[in-house]
Amino acid sequence: MRKYTPDKVLVISDNKVEILPVAKIDEEKIETDMHIFPVADAKALINPAEGNIYYVVNCSLPYLQECQRLKELSENIAIKNMFNFGEQERKFDIKFYVMLAVLVIVIFLLRG
């Protein structure tokens, strides 16, 4: 389940206006359910009546489609990373084998 902030994104594109809830925001991006917008492309306006912020994004349809592809790409990367969990540990680790060799040598020296 996704936790939403009280903030909204006001998307103005061509001849329509959409108000979308902000799912996540950081210093670089504003994320909604369908799009990721760069913070640099949005104008932040305070809504004193509700106590939240409206991020206004004035964009064309190709820009909006690109933001949607960016969102899909970030979700695909997250899913890929979930399935590749622990892949780093499976790679050849020379330190492990060196420590194993030292352990075997110590065992033989203590037995003899």
Q: What is the pLDDT of residue 3?
A: 65
Whether 18 is covered by a domain: the verdict is yes
Q: Which residue has the higher pLDDT, 87 or 44?
A: 44
Residues in Cβ contact with 109 at an 8 Å cutoff, skipping those fewer than 6 apart: none
> Which H/E stretch holds residue 10?
strand 8-13
Q: Does some domain include residue 2? A: no
Q: Examine the pLDDT at 1 and tell me if it is beyond 50.
A: no
Q: Determine the longest span between alpha carbons in the chain, in angstroms.
A: 86
* Average model confidence (pLDDT) across the chain: 82
Instruction: Tell me the per-residue pLDDT of 16-32, one tens digit each, with 9 for 90 and over.
Output: 899 999 998 988 889 98
**Range(s) of the domain holding residue 14:** 8-111
Identify the pLDDT of residue 109. 83
Indicate whether 9 pLDDT > 50. yes
Q: How many domains are contained in the chain? A: 1
Is residue 105 included in any domain, yes or no?
A: yes
3 within domain boundaries:
no
pLDDT at 112 (0 to 100): 62
Residue 14 has a pLDDT of: 78
Judge residue 19's burial from the number of C-beta atoms within 10 Å of its C-beta, 0-12 exposed, 13-18 middle, 19 or more buried: exposed
Task: Say what the pTM is.
Answer: 0.59
For residue 12, give the DSSP letter.
E
Query: What is residue 77's predicted lDDT score, i.e. its pLDDT?
Result: 77
DSSP string, 25-84: E-SSEEE-SS-EEEGGG-EEEEETTTTEEEEEEEE-HHHHHHHHHHHHHHHHHHHHHHHT
User: Which residues lie closer than 8 Å to 3 by C-beta, 6 or more apart?
Assistant: 23
